[in-house]
Structure 1
Amino acid sequence: MRRLNSLEGRLTGLLALAGLSGAMLYAGITQWPLPQIIAWAHTDLKMELRGPATFGVYGVLAVCLLLLLPLAWWLAHGVMGPLKRLLRALEGAVASYRDGDFSFSIAVRRRDELGELIRMHNELGQTLREQRQHLAQRELLLDTVVQNTPVALVLTDAGDRVAYANIAARHLFNEGRSLNGLSFAQLLGDTPEALRVAVESQEDALFTVEMEGSEETFHLSQRAFRLQGRPHRLRLFRRMTRELSRQEVAAWKRVIRVVSHELNNSLAPISSLAHSGAELARRGNLERLPGVFATIGERARHLHGFIDGYARFAKLPTPRHVAVAWPGFLDALALHCQFRLEGALPEQPGWFDPAQVEQVLINLVKNAHEAATEGGTDDVTLAIAIVARDVRIEVADRGPGMSQTVLAQALLPFYSTKRSGTGLGLALAREIAEAHGGRIALANRAEGGLRVTLLLPLQPA
């Protein structure tokens, strides 16, 4: 039954009907009833009519053909009529889809392949309508979020004209009025110089401008991309004043806690020992006084070293780059700490401040020894290699490594997991590395332990 309802089955039936109609017409002209009708008219009505035999075979075929043409036209019209209507409907649907209208559907019901095509078309239209609705809802939600975010957003086209701007951007650049279609370069003409310089740099930047009688710090993020095949540029201006103020207050609180803790740990014993020394002197027990004074001196030296560490971190001098030969540099480093050199030294000399980098490596090797001791081994290695345009210095140990939480905060100032640590060793190393135009990174080793990587440029930044 399914094959009979198919287009192939229907076409086969129509061809069979056409063939049968032709055969019946030919038989009617040559066999019955036309010859009998002509004979009756000739005999009874005395009418002189020519029979089919006088036309010959070809004549009869011509007559059949003329009589079959209307039937063929009627059958073709019956077959092609629905197809034409369906094609016009599909043409209208495609035009609607092209214009973004997905509400078009076809109401024709058929049980053949065309019916299946219509059903799939209507399902496609329903799917596109649902997706369009979901997309419209998401666009509305996104536009609401973007419009109400405190981050000023400006999207410019290839001609540097504003294609999109949210409420914060309108207030920042045009007193709340619309920015669409305006030249962004002209808008920057009335802004502070620091803002213009940051935008013209075409890079991310942090800048401070004076607004409404106070200073405001902004972070500018700039990205170029293609939208609908055309170049666009997105700029995000985020106010950072409150965030920086909170971070500054939090940093000062950490400093005060660390300093207070260290001062109390040193001053309380000094005060107690001074009182004990005075009491011993009053009693005339002078034998124990040298030990008391030695302990007071030790605590005072510890406190001096603690304060000196903060002073060096706060007043780090500008690095003095010089060419550094590796053998002599490592010989000097070996006088302060112990390590095992891995691999051959590069032939190309380094280019950095030897005193500052030496201090970094002393701290890193010292930390590695402490970690290795905790891990039950004393194997601290140092490796130096040239990678592209940088020199890579790695200090590795076989200790327990660091947790992900500690790794994420180890380079922050005043962060320390040691009971007596100041949290300045790795922070000072990071400060020196960045002052050289390099960076420092920490990672756990697959075979156990921690690896600290110091990258320094071969040429001054």
Structure 2
Amino acid sequence: MKLQVRLTLLLLSTAAVALALHAGLSVWPLPQLLAWADLGLAAPAPFGWPALALSLALLLPLLIALAGWLLTPLQRLLRALQGAVLSYRDGDYSMSIAERGSGELGELLHLHSELGQALREQRQHLAQRELLLDTVVQNTPVALILTDAQERVAIANIAARQLLGDGRSLSGVDFAALCERAPEAMRRALAGGDDCLFSLAVEGGEEETFHLSQREFRLQGRPHRLRLIRRMTRELSRQEVGSWKRVIRVISHELNNSLAPISSLAHSGAELARRGGAEHLERLPGVFASIGARASHLHQFLEGYARFAKLPQPQLQSVDWPAFLQGLAAHCQFRLIGEPPAAPARFDAAQVEQALINLIKNAHEAGGPAQEVTLAIAAGPRELRLEVADRGPGMSEAVLAQALLPFYSTKRAGTGLGLALAREIAEAHGGRIALANRGDGGGLRVSLSLPLA
């Protein structure tokens, strides 16, 4: 029965009972009974206060009983709905209400049943997706660390626990304290806040290269930071094999481009010499000059590769900063940030100068403003840090992971030796080179770190 009909019947029933009761007390049969009994009582007036008070006194209990009987199903439904809502609030979607009756209440029960079924299905799908996501996250070889606004570890997968916690759980651990126990190279990378490459000595004394990626986002309105650390040694090895294949193709192409003209010119020179005569002999110097030019170009091309392959051992010497920077400025344009260290440094001046020339040249070719190519020098307690920065577009993660590989270049006419040679020079000094995108205003930052002698 519809709720509106139920309430209408309640009101009509109440009105009918009230009228009947009042008429019985004031019109018939109570007045006639009193007269017949001849008790000496005055008959109540049709609309007098005594009759009205007596009618209300008798009507109220009847009305309360009637209202309770009519509203009992609605009260049971409301209690059931309240219990279901409380269960949903607590995350329990298993509760359901049996559908009974028709009308608005029956339709409400049907809709509630459909809502419960939809919530249960969504909960099941979410649980399955969460299980799948957790399985993928926990078993991926990439170390994943998620920290909350207080820089405490919220999620750390198996790879992260093995890398940073010796397999122990890291949930709730302060990330700063965790970094203090990490190796120095990893600690510097994590403190930098940018994407970068770093190397660590792992079990067996072998060096492993890692790529760090860091992102900030808001989760449930609160700031979180996600750090991904990926082992890159195998990928770098695979890329190195590919790089060697590319360099073989480049050298073969360049050799063919030079040797074919040289062979043709030599044949032409021999033919001119065989014919003799002043007219033919006058053309020989031009032929020999062309052969010499092609041979010189080929020599310069091969010398660049040989210089990379046969980098000599660094000759450490005391370097005075003003003279070194003056010599560097004669080869390339840059803006010095801050003042250089007051104390002289010890490194191979020629090699480090060549490395910085390559880095500054790459910074100019990045496409940013020339005046934004900067050089910063800082001397720490244990190392010297030379940092070249620009305001170009930076590098994608894929390029950043391969930029230090020999012969890898995104430039059409690039040899891919600039950054690789700088890396070789840094490692020959016992240092390292790191690349990171600049977060403020864009650009790339290349840091050359050398140990203090």
| Alpha carbons 2:255, 2:298 under 8 Å: kept | no
SS in 1 for 2:155: strand
Using the alignment, how far apart are the partners of 1:161 and 1:108 within structure 2? 49
**Which runs of structure 1 show a deviation greater than 6 angstroms over 4 or more consecutive aligned residues?**
309-315, 384-387, 425-428
Using the alignment, how far apart are the partners of 2:28 and 2:119 within structure 1? 62
Corresponding residue number in structure 2 for 1:251: 243
RMSD across aligned C-alpha pairs, in angstroms?
A: 4.6
Counterpart of 1:209, as a letter, is: L
Give ranges in structure 1 of 5+ residues lacking alignment: 324-351, 365-383, 394-411, 417-422, 432-436, 440-454
1:227 paired with 2:219, answer yes
Using the alignment, how far apart are the partners of 1:128 and 1:95 within structure 2? 14
Corresponding residue number in structure 2 for 1:174: 165
| Alpha carbons 1:153, 1:166 under 8 Å: kept | yes
SS in 2 for 1:52: coil
Using the alignment, how far apart are the partners of 1:241 and 1:79 within structure 2? 79
1:6-45 C-alpha deviation (Å, 9 max, x unpaired): 33332222111111111122222334334444555x3xxx
Corresponding residue number in structure 1 for 2:256: 264
Name which of structure 1's ranges 225-234 and 195-204 shifts more when overlaid on structure 2: 225-234
Q: 1:201 aligns with which of 192, 196, 212?
A: 192
SS in 1 for 2:283: helix
CA gap 1:456/1:321 in 2 versus in 1, 3 angstroms: farther
Q: TM-score, normalised by structure 2?
A: 0.64
Pairwise CA distance, 1:310? 7.6
Corresponding residue number in structure 2 for 1:321: 333
Q: Which has the higher contact order (CA 8 A, sep 6+)?
A: 2
SS in 1 for 2:52: helix
Pairwise CA distance, 1:91? 2.1
1:133 paired with 2:124, answer yes
SS in 2 for 1:150: coil
| Alpha carbons 2:26, 2:46 under 8 Å: kept | no
Name which of structure 1's ranges 250-259 and 138-147 shifts more when overlaid on structure 2: 250-259
SS in 1 for 2:48: helix
CA gap 1:414/1:48 in 2 versus in 1, 3 angstroms: closer
Corresponding residue number in structure 2 for 1:15: 11
Pairwise CA distance, 1:89? 1.9
Using the alignment, how far apart are the partners of 2:268 and 2:13 within structure 1? 129
Corresponding residue number in structure 2 for 1:381: none
Pairwise CA distance, 1:200? 1.2
Q: TM-score, normalised by structure 1?
A: 0.63
1:120-171 C-alpha deviation (Å, 9 max, x unpaired): 3332222222211111111111111111211100122344332211111122
Using the alignment, how far apart are the partners of 1:304 and 1:296 within structure 2? 12
| Alpha carbons 1:188, 1:196 under 8 Å: kept | yes
- Which runs of structure 2 are paired with 1:92-111 in the superposition (5 Å)? 92-111=83-102
CA gap 1:112/1:51 in 2 versus in 1, 3 angstroms: farther
Counterpart of 1:298, as a letter, is: S
CA gap 1:95/1:64 in 2 versus in 1, 3 angstroms: same
Aligned pair count?
Answer: 354
Corresponding residue number in structure 2 for 1:405: none
Name which of structure 1's ranges 102-111 and 126-135 shifts more when overlaid on structure 2: 102-111
CA gap 1:356/1:306 in 2 versus in 1, 3 angstroms: farther
Identity level (%): 53
- Which runs of structure 2 are paired with 1:55-204 in the superposition (5 Å)? 57-204=48-195
Pairwise CA distance, 1:73? 0.7
| Alpha carbons 1:157, 1:163 under 8 Å: kept | yes
SS in 2 for 1:220: strand
Give ranges in structure 2 of 5+ residues lacking alignment: 309-327, 336-356, 375-389, 393-407, 422-434, 445-453
